[in-house]
Structure 1
Amino acid sequence: MIYRFAYQKKEIGDLYNIDEVRGSKTIKTRQTYIRELLTFYNHLCENKQILLEDTFHTDSESILRIIEPRHVLNYQKWLISAPLGRKKEPYKKTTIAKKTVILKGFFKYLHEQKFTEFPLHHSLVSANITRIDLPNRDVTYDEVKQILEYYKDSPLHYTILLTLATTGLRAAELASAKWRDITKDHNGHWLKIMGKGRKEREVFIIEYVFDAIVKFRKRRGQTIELNSTDNSYLIVTSKMKPYSPGYLSKFVSEMIARTKLPFINNHDRNGFSAHFFRHSYAIEARKNGADIYAISTSLGHESIKTTQIYLAKHEKRETNVGLIWKNKEEF
């Protein structure tokens, strides 16, 4: 049932702050669903004897058929308190929220398929996420410049970081980008990508960024003439292979950590990842007068609420009445 659920072709629902693939989940999404649900299933198996003693439904061969609403709620309480997160600490609220949505979708599916008697999805408590619970991913223009400066003499690292910083691309989108999808008009170069939710969009490639990509492709012995039939990947490894989304994301985090710049390990950031560049891109666009709806579209966000989260700290500062005093004379 877990695999049928993960591979079904219908809309399940939206993960908190994650764009869900409509109609056909990506491999990564399926893997996430299966991993989370197998964790739940294994927990049931480990506690099967306790469950059998706590239910009248002992005639079923499937452990999923014997659980009742209180068992689901107990599992959720265990998830919240168990030391399963980073550094053996409990999961953050945002992580619990994502896991809860997956479980709710699965339980709803089981009930709709008449596999379970109880509508177990009604038993789970939704995680109330506030902006305070969200990780701090704000990064300044100056900080991005310092990271890029560190790698200015390394074509591979510089090209990857520069492209992420100036386009708002996700690491997974850059990993899957192909040379054939770059076109040029009177404004410059554009890259067509397929983002999360199978949503197609174009990102603008600044001229000096395009030049860096071309320089890198030359070093790899790749073609540099625009060609709509060139199926080669935009960025490839030394073995001429494309980066997997997961590996590229990890690679970016590692190269940033390697700089050992003072702000990288800021205590409230909890690590610096490729996703930080999307926040920087949004904040810098807003500072330069871009409309929040345009920013949301450029980033490929499913909901403008996600964009508002990116810009929350910046917007709060920009509307602070204390700024009235900025140009006043001293008392």
Structure 2
Amino acid sequence: MLWQSYLKNFKSYLTLERSLSENSIEAYLRDVHKLWQYLEIAGENDINPETVNEKHIFNFFTYMGELGLETTSQARILSGLKAFFKYLLLEDVIKTDPMDLMASPKIGRKLPPTLSFPEIEKILSVIDLSTPEGARNRAILEVLYSSGLRVSELVEMQLTECFLDIGFIRIIGKGNKVRLVPIGRDAIHYLEIYLENIRKFQVIKEEAGNYVFLNRRGNKLTRVMIFLIIKDLVAQAGIHKNVSPHTFRHSFATHLIEGGADLRAVQEMLGHESITTTEIYTHLDREYLQQTIVDFHPRSKKHLKV
């Protein structure tokens, strides 16, 4: 309860003494809440605002980098945390500031670029949906961005592991670990178009019968082919970034986190290993994961059309 109490008092401080706007206050509170969530999923349940140290802060930003958050977004979170711990200093809750050694340019590691939502929309818009390959490629990109899959997981997707009626796909990830991943409505829409109008009428090699995404010869697509498809579409869209399938995974995580999604939900959807040595891991129910996509994914906003 200590975190909740300090957050409540911090909100009052920002409102009364700093006179910040409601949006700024909510952003600061979200930043502190992310640190709190990280400590919980890291198994540091006994750590409260009074006992947070430099190592906790460093590990938190390292983990945010692993989730795909760009340095600019990390810098914004840093600003919120600095304000929080400065407040704790003013209130004599802490004697030393754990943020003192943290500098924006040094946070995290250099990551591949993410795509903004308009850039993703631009890439999707250049796909020729009148061709079989175009319908397939639209489904591929929608699934990548909707679910944050690794390219290896995408090419291994199985028809019998797609539960589109309930909005989930079952994925076998690293270390043969199985997870259920929610899939957004747009991805389901374009995946169903591909399955019913294109794949259904292909001559399919026997060994590829259960794979979702196939090439024109009826074999499963390879990782290299996915890279080439994306490279071509990015060039057509006139986007000058080094974009790979993993860029869509980073973008998926970044857009969810920046939208306010729970770190634990994003961690579970990405299939990340537990970040504790004892493998402490919080599994969330599938309804919660699905609601996270609905509430925080840009492709699920109510004003967008299927």
Superposition TM-score, scaled by structure 1 size: 0.44
**Structure with more relative contact order (C-alpha pairs < 8 Å, separation 6 or more):** 2
Q: Which has the larger radius of gyration?
A: 1
The TM-score normalised by the length of structure 2 is 0.47
